Amino acid sequence: MSTAPPSIPTTQEPALSVIEPSPTAPAPTATPPPRRGRPAARLAGLLAAFLLLVAVVAVSLAVGAKQLTLAEVWQGLVDPDSPAHAVVRQMRLPRTLLGLLAGAALGVAGAVMQAVTRNPLADPGLLGINAGASAAVATAAGFFGVAGVDGYIWFALAGAAAVTALVYAVGGGRGATPARLALAGAALNAALYSYVSAVMLLDAASLEKMRFWTVGSLASADLATVVRVLPFAAAGLVIALAAARPLNALALGDDQARALGARPAAVRAAVVVTVTLLCGAATAACGPLVFVGLLVPHLVRVLTGPDLRWLLPACALLAPVLLLGADVAGRVLGRPGEIQVGIMTAVLGGPLFLHLVTRTRAVRS
């Protein structure tokens, strides 16, 4: 009868065993959990932008040919018998409200255009849209005797719409590239502003009526002008904010946008309507203002990222800060007169535009 050999004890360490996860244990994730503080940080940024806008509005009401304290500004707003009432209510308040409206319109229009064209240099001024509105207004004033915002607004909207469609078509339509859009806009911009200059030089009455308007100015603002352009600008802002989510999807390409439920053709049509309303209203009221729609989205994007649901509200708050700040700077630097806000935005925007072009070239190389 054979017996099994006795087991020999060994000093070898046992092999490490792999512990299988239990079926109820949560599966490990390959990506880190989302940062919960990001929406809070964005909300804090919007609140800070709003507070900055309130401060700039207060400065715009207080600073001018006659310096006012904040107490005098408040008395001028609420007390008809105050010595500052005429200055604040009749001059500076309409000017400030128009700056708020035009700044928000141009800032949001620039952000929307940069998103839909995927061109970081897209801007209502650089792509010729403001020039189209200006050419239509010059035609109305020079050949049809139209005067005032009541008549200008319809011509400005028609000119902005025509040039928006023309730039998109010349740039290649759905196959448009940023370079082709920029070239088409620059060519139309030069041609249309040459036409505006010719109309003004050939007609002395048009020159007199439009010499401040063509530079870009808030000086002739009144409450009636604000009331007339408000519905167009408000409609454009509402459409832009409603299109923010589809525009985010469109940034991934048409196929991905359709997979996410967006309709690229409808989104682009909404953008055309939005840009037409915003640029037409701002240009009819203030004249052509450059660089506001180009610079503000770039500055805001650093704070909010590319998500248009956050970018557009921030642009609507910070673009008026830039425009009103430039207007106040023009009043201070040009004393006893003033430097028109269109000149100030060009002076401030030119160097920053060159910086953006240089940075874009460096990134691509």
Q: Confirm if 163 and 113 have CB atoms less than 8 A apart.
A: no
The length of the chain, given as a count of residues: 365
CA atoms lying within 13 Å on the CB side of residue 291: 20
Q: Looking at the domain assignment, is residue 324 inside a domain?
A: no
∠ at Cα 122 (320, 293), nearest 5°? 5
Q: Looking at the domain assignment, is residue 323 inside a domain?
A: no
Q: Looking at the domain assignment, is residue 287 inside a domain?
A: yes
Reported in sequence order, the residue ranges of the chain that DSSP labels E, i.e. its strands, are none
Q: Looking at the domain assignment, is residue 230 inside a domain?
A: yes
Task: State the Cα–Cα distance between residues 265 and 73, nearest whole angstrom.
Answer: 49
The one-character DSSP state at 81 is T
Q: What is the CATH number of the domain that holds 205?
A: 1.10.3470.10
Q: Looking at the domain assignment, is residue 23 inside a domain?
A: no
Sign for the pseudo-dihedral over CA of 53, 226, 104, 140: negative
Question: What local confidence, expressed as pLDDT, does residue 173 receive?
Answer: 67
This prediction's pTM: 0.83
Q: Looking at the domain assignment, is residue 173 inside a domain?
A: yes
Q: Looking at the domain assignment, is residue 192 inside a domain?
A: yes
pLDDT tens, per residue, the chain with 365 residues: 444 444 444 444 444 444 444 444 444 444 444 444 478 888 999 999 999 999 999 999 999 888 899 999 999 999 988 999 999 999 999 999 999 999 999 999 999 999 988 888 788 887 889 899 999 998 988 888 887 788 889 999 999 999 988 888 887 766 666 678 778 888 899 999 999 988 888 877 767 667 777 888 898 889 999 999 999 999 999 999 999 999 999 888 888 888 988 888 889 889 889 999 999 999 999 988 988 998 899 989 988 889 999 999 999 999 999 999 999 999 999 888 899 999 999 888 878 777 766 775 555 55
The domain tally of the chain equals 1
Range of the domain at 213: 115-292
